[in-house]
Amino acid sequence: MQSTAHIANAPRTGWLRGPRFDALFIGGVFLLALVLGLVAGGSEAAFINVLLLDVWLIAYPHVASTYTRIAFDAASAKRYWFLLTLAFPIVLGATALTTYLWGAVFLNSLYFYWQTFHYSRQSYGIARAYGRAAGKAGPATDALTTLVIAAFPVWGLLHRASQQQPFFYSAALYSPAVPRAAAVLVGAGTLALLFLWLVRRLRAPHATRVAQLGQTLFVLSHVAMTFISYVAIAEVTAGWLFINVWHNAQYIAFVWATNAREFRAGVEPRRRLISWLSQPKNVLVYAATCLGLSTLTYLLLGMVTARLEWNTLPTVMVVFLAFNFHHYVVDAVIWRSPAPPPNKIPR
């Protein structure tokens, strides 16, 4: 998630929507990821069941929720026509070519590292959203906050590289050779940054601390979840599940909140479907729509790939990861710049 200009006009309360929503968004999503991750660690069967639950009920709908921003009304579809038509064949071709040239190990490793970057950019974007909601209490994100957000995933990746674990998701994983001492040194520096950030937050004027409370709590949740997923949990795939659940559930809630704020005035005749789905009273219908669309899409995708006979490449892996990579590309574009005002939306 590249930026959050869509919600720049939020009420200056320090919350995205209000204490109740934000408590669920920060604390509830964190608790969900923590519980599911701990349950998955109980046994191999428990891990598989939690993984299936995550993929079907959270991960796939989180991809579908992206398209509520670009495909649920004619104006948005016209604006993002390239992402909806040509982008996926290009990404699929690039993914297949990459796998053909460098193998499945490279593809799986690319997925692991790109996904980590994707998670981190989402945290950065949401932190900026909270900063904007705080209004004049401070900038959307200051340099120290940005450093803290970035430092923890960097530490996590260096820690994983120092472990040299051979597999991620039961597929071969490449990690650059990183000395254990280097990872420990970066970890110490990261904890020092966190300490300085906490001191600055605690020493800020009372009004500033209150206005920035949402951002402070969110950044702490990012710090804790990244540490758990990349450092505290010994095995890379088991650790990944924690942050994957957290990221997916968080994204669904954030997209819905953004849509709800955009259509807070009510249903718009020219964007009837998405504006109706984005009304707070229809939140369950919105969730069911994302779940239904994602289930149908991935079932059809599975049926198609099952019929393909392509011995040169791991076809299923290529196609499904191409869907993920396409989502990363779409996500990077749609959050980078603000939506055009109504009189500038293409007819």
**Do the Cβ atoms of 240 and 224 come closer than 8 Å?**
no
Q: What integer pLDDT is reported at residue 150 of this predicted model?
A: 96
pLDDT at 30 over 80: yes
DSSP line for 104-119: HHHHHHHHHHHHHHHH
How far is it between the farthest Cα atoms of the chain?
65
Domain of residue 162, residue span: 5-344
Q: What is the tens place of the pLDDT at every residue in 172-196? A: 899 999 999 999 999 999 999 999 9
Burial class of residue 347, CB neighbours in 10 A (0-12, 13-18, 19+): exposed
User: What is the structure's pLDDT at 140?
Assistant: 64
Question: Residue 136 — very low, low, confident or very high, per pLDDT cuts 50/70/90?
Answer: low
Domains contained in the chain, number? 1
Choose the most confident range, by mean pLDDT, from 15-19, 50-54, 144-148, 333-337: 144-148
Q: What is the pLDDT of residue 8?
A: 42
Query: Does 4 have pLDDT greater than 50?
Result: no
Report d(CA 33, CA 175) in Å as an integer.
Answer: 26
The predicted pLDDT at position 343 comes to: 36
pLDDT at 236: 94
- The mean-pLDDT minimum among 124-128, 241-245, 300-304 falls in 300-304
Q: Using CB atoms within 10 A of its CB, is residue 324 exposed (0-12), middle (13-18) or buried (19+)? A: middle
- pLDDT confidence tier of residue 16, bands split at 50, 70 and 90: confident
What percent of the chain shows pLDDT beyond 90? 47
What pLDDT is stored for residue 342 in this prediction?
40
Chain segment 73-112, per-residue pLDDT in tens: 888 888 888 988 899 899 999 998 988 888 888 888 999 9
Q: Give 52-66 pLDDT, tens digit per residue.
A: 889 888 988 888 888
Nearest Cα residue to 241 out of 1, 29, 36? 36
**Alpha-carbon torsion 138, 215, 261, 324, what sign?**
positive
Q: How much is the average pLDDT of 273-283?
A: 90
Tokens at residue 154, please?
């960097």
Whole-number pLDDT of residue 138: 54
